[in-house]
Amino acid sequence: MRFITMKTKLTCVAISDTHGMYNKLDLPDGDVLIHAGDITRHGKLSELVDFNDWLGEQPHQHKIIIAGNHDWCFERQKQDCLKILTNAVYLEDESTTIAGHTFYGSPWQPRFQNWAFNLSRGKALQEKWDMITDNTDVLITHGPAFGLLDTIHSGEHTGCENLLFKIEEIKPRVHIFGHIHEGYGRVKHQGIEFINASVTNERNKPVNPPIVFTVD
């Protein structure tokens, strides 16, 4: 006998790149709160303690987070971070299922200077993207795919080409990311919604509102 998992509609609230300023946000209500990395400013465990307390005060039934390039504590002290993080699910190259919808999270991005979760373009990143499951409904990465809300002030595209190819292959419903503050917003490509949820602008001011989307 084949069992079919029924999916129910979820209202999701996406944020990214809060850099310690999450308490300045006016968060809409919803079923799932997603943070796509750069939670901290300095990557310290003490910052994560405060963030976890803040998460516990939010009304969303489910909370999902991934790390970003500023979140050194997750790369260097992952187990300590997981002990602190009692109010959210942390995803690092893994998935979780809510109401029949699969959320997959990964913190990696193309190498730039010497930040956390940096990998060289090409094979190293491709090995991470190959881990993304085909049944992913909502993909959460810290960095963008190439050419989609990934442009910096100079006009250069900074996203990952290999990530774009993987997304076009598996076709999740939504791709949530941040990292490139100038790229805040949402756009559709090949029927997939791409959301850059960076709440801080290029001057690190928390001026961009959280982005709400639904999956059903």
Domain presence at residue 4? no
Domain presence at residue 5? no
* Domain enclosing residue 110, as ranges: 10-215
The pLDDT value recorded for residue 5 is: 63
Domain presence at residue 3? no
The pLDDT value recorded for residue 7 is: 87
The phi and psi torsions of 198 (rounded to 5 degrees) equal: -60, 115
pLDDT tens figures, 102-147: 999 999 999 988 899 999 999 999 999 999 999 999 999 999 999 9
The pLDDT value recorded for residue 4 is: 52
Residue 25, SS3 per DSSP = coil
Which ranges of 58-90 does DSSP label H, i.e. alpha helix?
72-76, 78-84
pLDDT tens figures, 82-106: 999 999 999 999 999 999 999 999 9
Q: How far apart are CA 25 and CA 209, in angstroms?
A: 7
Domain presence at residue 119? yes
Domain presence at residue 2? no
Domain presence at residue 63? yes
Query: Structurally, how many domains does the chain consist of?
Result: 1
**Residue 149: CATH number of its domain:** 3.60.21.10
Domain presence at residue 51? yes
Q: Which among 157, 76, 163 is positioned nearest to 121, based on CA atoms?
A: 163
* Angstrom distances, CA of residue 49 to CA of 8, 46, 52, 71, 107: 32, 5, 5, 13, 20
Domain presence at residue 205? yes
Residue 126, SS3 per DSSP = helix
The pLDDT value recorded for residue 1 is: 45
Q: Which among 163, 135, 137 is positioned nearest to 149, based on CA atoms?
A: 163
